């Protein structure tokens, strides 16, 4: 039985980039819907005993879509902070610098891949077991965990994530999200991937 995660900030903490009204629908309706759907779909099946990531790795069709969307949104909503965003430090910062040169160059590629993703989906930063980072475009409920990678950071480019506040201006929305990214949390996920 899966449950809706609590948001680690007030509903209006990310406004106007993500308004309280967007969060009300995105977290309270869309994510709640995926949780309710998955619980119905897996009741009485072997999936009911599995952790979420395992379901995502092993399932397809409706179970995959709903489980993937729960995993994606749980990582998405908990990567933002209402405190001033501090640039990444430690091993994650060193790796970004090694692969992209600067944090700004990394952000530019991440935004461009989110903006150019056709239709609904997610842009992800993930790490392999050696710590190599990669940016990927994942359609629908996609998550790089299905390829054995550790998901670190994601921007949701489904229209439900930004349309109430930004309408068609996806690129501007993505660019404005960085101010809320909790790099301490992303670095923690990265360090965990390397253990």
Residues that bind Mn ion (CB under 5 A): 156, 158, 161
Least separation in angstroms between residue 24's CB and Mn ion is: 13
Q: Which residue of the chain is nearest Mn ion when measured via CB? A: 156
Length of the chain in terms of residues written: 195
Least separation in angstroms between residue 18's CB and Mn ion is: 11
Least separation in angstroms between residue 122's CB and Mn ion is: 8
Tokens of 64: 């995959």
Nearer to Mn ion, 87 or 139 (CB): 139
Count of CB atoms situated within 10 Å of the CB of 20: 13
Nearer to Mn ion, 6 or 195 (CB): 6
Tokens of 115: 């903006």
Least separation in angstroms between residue 73's CB and Mn ion is: 6
Nearer to Mn ion, 111 or 156 (CB): 156
**Contact, 146 vs 122, CB < 8 A?**
no
Give the H or E element holding residue 139: strand 133-139
Count of CB atoms situated within 10 Å of the CB of 164: 16
């Amino acid at each position: 039985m899966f449950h809706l995660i609590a948001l680690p900030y007030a509903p209006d903490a990310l406004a106007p980039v993500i308004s309280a009204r967007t969060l009300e629908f995105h977290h309270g309706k869309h994510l709640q819907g995926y949780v309710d759907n998955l619980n119905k779909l897996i009741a009485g099946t072997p999936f009911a005993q599995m952790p979420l990531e395992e379901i995502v790795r092993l399932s397809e069709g409706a179970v995959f879509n709903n489980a993937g969307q729960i995993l994606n949104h749980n990582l998405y909503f908990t990567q933002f902070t209402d405190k001033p965003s501090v640039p990444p430090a430690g091993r994650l910062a060193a790796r970004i610098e090694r692969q992209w040169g600067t944090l700004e160059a990394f952000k530019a590629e991440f935004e461009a891949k989110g903006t150019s993703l056709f239709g609904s989906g997610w842009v992800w930063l993930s790490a392999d077991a050696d710590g190599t980072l990669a940016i990927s475009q994942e359609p629908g409920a996609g998550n790089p965990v299905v390829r054995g990678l550790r998901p670190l950071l994601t921007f949701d480019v489904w229209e439900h994530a930004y349309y109430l506040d930004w309408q068609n201006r996806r690129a501007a929305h993505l660019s404005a999200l960085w101010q809320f990214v909790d790099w301490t949390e992303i670095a923690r996920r990265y360090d965990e991937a390397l253990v």
